[in-house]
């Protein structure tokens, strides 16, 4: 089973709303990732959690706030977003970070976010 589950699949929010994206995996993976992908562009890394600790923040604006409550769950809290934040948000997980084989990342289907 290489499944990463993301909810919701679609989300429409206003610029004053607060919402959260959720990601779950039950593969025992210890590294989890958030990516942002605009249309016809590659995924851009936002955050990496390794063993439930934030290890990489790619200078993401504070209106995006990640949270890793446990080794299976990853959340992305959204507040005061801008229309240009509309994109596909992808979650991924991998076994770990300490070898290439362990860094094979498995992606969820994503949350398509529209900010009005």
Specify the stretch interacting with other proteins by CB under 8 A; choose among 15-23, 48-56, 68-76, 79-87.
48-56
Q: Angle CA(116)–CA(7)–CA(10) in degrees, nearest 5? A: 30
Closer to other proteins at the Cβ: 17 or 105?
105
Residue 60 makes contact with other proteins by CB under 8 A = no
Let me know: does 113 contact 46? Beta carbons within 8 Å.
no
Q: What's the sign of the alpha-carbon dihedral 78, 18, 77, 34? A: negative
Residue 75 has which token pair? 């959340």
Residues 76-115 that bind other proteins (CB under 8 A): 90, 97, 100-101, 103-110
Closer to other proteins at the Cβ: 80 or 88?
88
Q: What's the closest the beta carbon of residue 107 comes to other proteins, in angstroms?
A: 4
Dihedral, CA of residue 65, residue 9, residue 116 and residue 13, to nearest 10:
-60
Residues 17-46 that bind other proteins (CB under 8 A): 40-45
């Amino acid at each position: 089973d290489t499944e990463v589950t993301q909810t919701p699949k679609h989300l429409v929010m206003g610029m004053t709303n607060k919402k959260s994206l959720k990601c779950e995996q039950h593969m025992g993976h210890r590294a989890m990732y958030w990516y942002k992908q605009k249309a016809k562009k590659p995924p851009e890394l936002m955050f990496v959690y390794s063993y439930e600790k934030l290890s990489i923040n790619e200078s993401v604006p504070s209106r995006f706030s990640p949270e890793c409550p446990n080794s299976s769950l990853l959340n992305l809290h959204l507040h005061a977003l801008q229309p240009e934040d509309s994109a596909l948000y992808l979650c991924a997980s991998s076994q770990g970070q300490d070898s290439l084989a362990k860094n094979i990342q498995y992606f969820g289907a994503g949350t398509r976010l529209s900010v009005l």
